[in-house]
Protein backbone atom coordinates (compact mmCIF):
# COMPACT_ATOMS: atom_id res chain seq x y z
CA UNK A 1 0.00 0.00 0.00
CA UNK A 2 2.81 2.42 0.88
CA UNK A 3 4.59 1.54 -2.34
CA UNK A 4 1.46 2.34 -4.32
CA UNK A 5 1.06 5.70 -2.58
CA UNK A 6 4.74 6.53 -3.14
CA UNK A 7 4.38 5.64 -6.82
CA UNK A 8 1.30 7.82 -7.21
CA UNK A 9 3.06 10.71 -5.47
CA UNK A 10 6.10 10.38 -7.76
CA UNK A 11 3.91 10.31 -10.87
CA UNK A 12 2.05 13.42 -9.71
CA UNK A 13 5.29 15.28 -9.02
CA UNK A 14 6.66 14.31 -12.42
CA UNK A 15 3.42 15.37 -14.08
CA UNK A 16 3.67 18.80 -12.48
CA UNK A 17 1.17 18.49 -9.66
CA UNK A 18 2.66 20.34 -6.72
CA UNK A 19 -0.14 19.77 -4.20
CA UNK A 20 -1.58 16.40 -3.32
CA UNK A 21 -3.58 15.44 -0.28
CA UNK A 22 -3.90 11.78 0.53
CA UNK A 23 -6.57 11.05 3.11
CA UNK A 24 -6.97 7.62 4.58
CA UNK A 25 -9.71 7.07 7.16
CA UNK A 26 -9.92 3.59 8.56
CA UNK A 27 -12.81 2.32 10.64
CA UNK A 28 -10.50 2.34 13.67
CA UNK A 29 -9.59 6.02 13.17
CA UNK A 30 -13.24 6.95 12.68
CA UNK A 31 -14.23 5.06 15.85
CA UNK A 32 -11.52 6.87 17.81
CA UNK A 33 -12.72 10.22 16.47
CA UNK A 34 -16.33 9.37 17.37
CA UNK A 35 -15.27 8.35 20.89
CA UNK A 36 -13.19 11.50 21.34
CA UNK A 37 -16.00 13.84 20.27
CA UNK A 38 -18.53 11.94 22.41
CA UNK A 39 -16.30 12.18 25.49
CA UNK A 40 -15.80 15.90 24.98
CA UNK A 41 -19.54 16.45 24.66
CA UNK A 42 -20.09 14.51 27.91
CA UNK A 43 -17.52 16.69 29.68
CA UNK A 44 -19.46 19.76 28.52
CA UNK A 45 -22.74 18.32 29.85
CA UNK A 46 -24.06 17.59 26.35
CA UNK A 47 -24.35 13.82 26.73
CA UNK A 48 -27.71 13.57 24.95
CA UNK A 49 -26.07 14.19 21.56
CA UNK A 50 -25.29 11.22 19.32
CA UNK A 51 -22.19 11.39 17.14
CA UNK A 52 -21.62 9.78 13.75
CA UNK A 53 -18.41 9.96 11.73
CA UNK A 54 -17.78 9.53 8.02
CA UNK A 55 -14.10 9.94 7.27
CA UNK A 56 -13.28 13.14 9.13
CA UNK A 57 -16.80 14.57 8.83
CA UNK A 58 -18.76 14.55 12.10
CA UNK A 59 -22.55 14.75 12.34
CA UNK A 60 -24.26 15.60 15.61
CA UNK A 61 -27.78 14.25 16.14
CA UNK A 62 -30.31 14.89 18.87
CA UNK A 63 -32.25 17.46 20.82
CA UNK A 64 -31.05 20.08 23.27
CA UNK A 65 -32.92 22.64 25.34
CA UNK A 66 -31.47 25.80 23.78
CA UNK A 67 -29.85 27.06 20.60
CA UNK A 68 -26.85 28.07 22.72
CA UNK A 69 -26.32 24.43 23.69
CA UNK A 70 -26.42 23.44 20.03
CA UNK A 71 -23.83 26.10 19.21
CA UNK A 72 -21.66 24.87 22.08
CA UNK A 73 -21.90 21.25 20.86
CA UNK A 74 -20.81 22.30 17.37
CA UNK A 75 -17.92 24.31 18.79
CA UNK A 76 -16.77 21.44 21.03
CA UNK A 77 -16.85 18.95 18.14
CA UNK A 78 -15.19 21.27 15.62
CA UNK A 79 -12.20 21.86 17.91
CA UNK A 80 -11.27 18.18 18.16
CA UNK A 81 -8.13 17.10 16.30
CA UNK A 82 -8.96 15.27 13.10
CA UNK A 83 -12.40 16.82 12.57
CA UNK A 84 -12.73 18.46 9.16
CA UNK A 85 -16.36 19.56 9.30
CA UNK A 86 -19.26 19.33 11.75
CA UNK A 87 -22.76 18.85 10.38
CA UNK A 88 -25.72 19.81 12.52
CA UNK A 89 -28.66 17.41 12.74
CA UNK A 90 -29.73 18.76 16.14
CA UNK A 91 -32.79 20.71 17.14
CA UNK A 92 -34.15 22.57 20.10
CA UNK A 93 -36.55 20.49 22.20
CA UNK A 94 -40.13 21.65 21.76
CA UNK A 95 -41.83 22.39 25.05
9-25 pLDDT, tens per residue? 555 555 555 555 555 66
Query: What pLDDT score was predicted for residue 27?
Result: 85
Predicted structure pTM score: 0.73
Query: Does 86 have pLDDT greater than 60?
Result: yes
Positive or negative, the CA dihedral 61, 53, 27, 33 is negative
Any idea which architecture 25-92 has in CATH? Answer: 2-Layer Sandwich (3.30)
CA dist 70 → 50, 65, 90 (Å): 12, 8, 7
Q: What are the extents of the domains in the chain?
A: 25-92
The answer to whether 40 and 32 are in contact (CB under 8 A) is: no
Query: What pLDDT score was predicted for residue 29?
Result: 87
Amino acid sequence: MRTLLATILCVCVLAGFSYLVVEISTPKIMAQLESDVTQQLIQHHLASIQVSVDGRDVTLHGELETQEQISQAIKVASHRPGVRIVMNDMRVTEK
